[in-house]
Structure 1
């Protein structure tokens, strides 16, 4: 199925149907202008809780609130027309019970107009994924490295290097797949395992620090654009290097302002006649 030329907004079902057809393209966005730039080129936009670090300068995603996700979800919806938009459920807003997850997810869908939510977790979250999916809320799963669990896993590191880790991630992916997730993010997982899981599950896999054999790929837009050029994980490729360009532009602006070169008369409003 080809969905590149469609006029309508893509749905989670459209994204799922791409497994075996072509690689799925995804990036994160948190603002209207960036969403507008991504929209023609991606299949789905993730309003990720990574906004906690990217936008707010937090040390992790743990401090992100539902209100933050709604505000940025609304901004991304305003800037996009064709991409499927998925919004993360932040830490503490869904783990307590499947009912809590439904209430949070329903609120986010209602207030943003997005198509789906993302939930981190494996077998322990399968019942919740099934509960939401059966009640009209499409779910993007997330296994492997889970940033919301950074306080219990000892930091950000690749997983799947031991048999025990491999078995857990494999079991998690199968459980989320069987629970009805329309797609599954695999993050920070050794390549052979991510490749194996992509063949094992029915849902398309979306890799980030995983495998080129995943059914799609996702990156944080600010990483891909080289806005944070002092932070480059192994799995990130800079498709642009905007940080020095932005810095140079600001320096030029400051120089012109100090020299009274900007604004020029052409940048001002004059009386007519």
Structure 2
């Protein structure tokens, strides 16, 4: 799968996208036939023990993206660019994004966008680095905006539409819309030729994305726009509890879990 393949799905076939943070995640997601695997900086919250995505480093994202890219055979691998690795200095931003393709074998990068990323998107596209834009709720900006629904008034909704069109014109191949009113998601989707991928942006986007931990039921709860399709957390809790009980009861390891070497019987 390449960026152009995702772009061509706009208005044709629903796009499926999930996060993955390591090789095990990625193998399951790719084997299921998901179109896009996003190596999200949400691993800061979900895997690294942080309270937000902001502490995630470029090296951590390079390592996670490399692990995912090694095992994905069919899906498009998109690497999230972490906080302050882009949008400050253009040369450094280009270098950091380029490293995701050169060193981590990503197929594209995702930028949490605003007015400051239009020119960068244009430059990256010129250099052959596919850009997935991201508007609406942008978690890296939570210290300014908070983790609340965006685009809820006419002014902010109009700004999202304008920035969506600007990033499309700059060369973005797709656009993530996060936690915005469903009717705004429909308007943006209708205004663009590139596909929109929603997360809490309603059913009219060209595709949908969620974090894999929520989808499989590994988290304690889900975001208001998420859904658990499994109960991995419950299964893990049961398995760990059963293991603890078996060890304490002397039931594990049993004979079939042990190897006896008869030649050692006379060692002492």
For the Cα contact (< 8 Å) 1:123–1:171, is it kept in 2?
A: no
2:208 is equivalent to residue 217 of structure 1: yes
Q: TM-score, normalised by structure 2?
A: 0.95
Say what the alpha-carbon RMSD is for the aligned residues: 1.1
For the Cα contact (< 8 Å) 1:206–1:214, is it kept in 2?
A: yes
For the Cα contact (< 8 Å) 2:151–2:160, is it kept in 1?
A: yes
Greater displacement, 162-171 / 135-144: 162-171
Alignment of 1:81-100 (within 5 A): 81-100=73-92
User: Take 1:193 and 1:20, find their aligned partners in 2: how far apart are those partners?
Assistant: 17
1:181 maps to what in 2? Answer: 172
For the Cα contact (< 8 Å) 1:27–1:220, is it kept in 2?
A: yes
Ranges in structure 2 where 5+ consecutive residues have no aligned partner: 264-268
For the Cα contact (< 8 Å) 1:227–1:242, is it kept in 2?
A: yes
SS at 1:223's partner residue?
A: helix
2:220 is equivalent to residue 260 of structure 1: no
SS at 2:103's partner residue?
A: helix
1:272 Cα offset (Å) = 6.3
For the Cα contact (< 8 Å) 1:122–1:173, is it kept in 2?
A: no
Q: TM-score, normalised by structure 1?
A: 0.93
SS at 1:178's partner residue?
A: helix
Q: Which has the larger radius of gyration?
A: 2
SS at 2:63's partner residue?
A: helix
1:4 maps to what in 2? Answer: none
For residues 229-262 of structure 1, what are the alpha-carbon distances to aligned partners after superposition, in whole Å with 9 as ceiling and x for unaligned?
3x32221111112211110111001101111211
2:234 is equivalent to residue 244 of structure 1: yes
1:268 Cα offset (Å) = 1.7
2:186 maps to what in 1? Answer: 195
Q: Any runs of at least 4 consecutive aligned residues in structure 1 with deviations exceeding 6 A, and if so which?
A: none
1:193 Cα offset (Å) = 0.4
2:196 maps to what in 1? Answer: 205
Greater displacement, 218-227 / 259-268: 259-268
1:164 Cα offset (Å) = 1.2
1:271 maps to what in 2? Answer: 261
SS at 2:16's partner residue?
A: strand
Ranges in structure 1 where 5+ consecutive residues have no aligned partner: 1-9
1:122 Cα offset (Å) = 2.5
2:122 maps to what in 1? Answer: 130
SS at 2:175's partner residue?
A: strand
1:233 maps to what in 2? Answer: 223
User: Take 2:115 and 2:170, find their aligned partners in 1: how far apart are those partners?
Assistant: 9
SS at 1:52's partner residue?
A: helix
1:80 maps to what in 2? Answer: 72
SS at 1:217's partner residue?
A: strand
